[in-house]
Amino acid sequence: MKTINSIYIVDDDPITVFGIKKLLSNVIQCDGVESYGNGKLAIDAIKEVLSNQKSLPDIIFLDINMPIMDGWQFLEEFIQLSINEKVRVNIITSSIDPADLERWEHYRNNSKHLITYNNKPVKREKMQEITKAV
């Protein structure tokens, strides 16, 4: 089992957050898992980490449909931040809208970060694949 320094889960559904945490505990060792109920809380936490020169999360699990700041708005701000290391951003969604796939491709192609698109629910095998740090 590989050890990951930290993981952020950005999702407003407590059941999804619980499920991701449960799967994570079975596939990797992680020093810390933080969860945020919307993109605004997560982006503020990342900005604080950057300003305090602390370590960013290795992996972010990101829902796209949330109140206050959705996943797309989060990504828009995230890719503009001055971040030296690559972060793996796993979009986790129940959306079947083709426009969401197009938006993902836009962010994937216009960011140095590794951004993947995954449908809920995420199975154990997929979780093992998407928890590899960049």
pLDDT digits (tens, 9 = 90+) for 39-80: 999 999 999 999 998 889 999 999 999 999 999 999 999 999
**pLDDT at residue 121 above 90?**
no
**Portion of the chain with pLDDT greater than 90, in percent:** 73
Q: According to the model, what pLDDT value does residue 134 have?
A: 62
Overall pTM surpassing 0.75 (yes/no):
yes
- Kindly state the DSSP code that residue 2 receives in the 8-state scheme: -
Nearest to 20 by CA among 1, 33, 38: 33
Angle between helices 71-78 and 98-109 (to 10 degrees): 10
More confident residue, 1 or 118: 118
Residue 10 · residue 62 · CB < 8 Å: yes
Confidence bin at 30 (pLDDT 50/70/90): confident
Phi then psi for residue 91, to 5 deg, are -70, 130
| The residue to which tokens 């199975």 are assigned | 123
Tell me the pLDDT band of 124, cut-offs 50, 70 and 90: confident
Q: What is the mean pLDDT of the chain?
A: 92
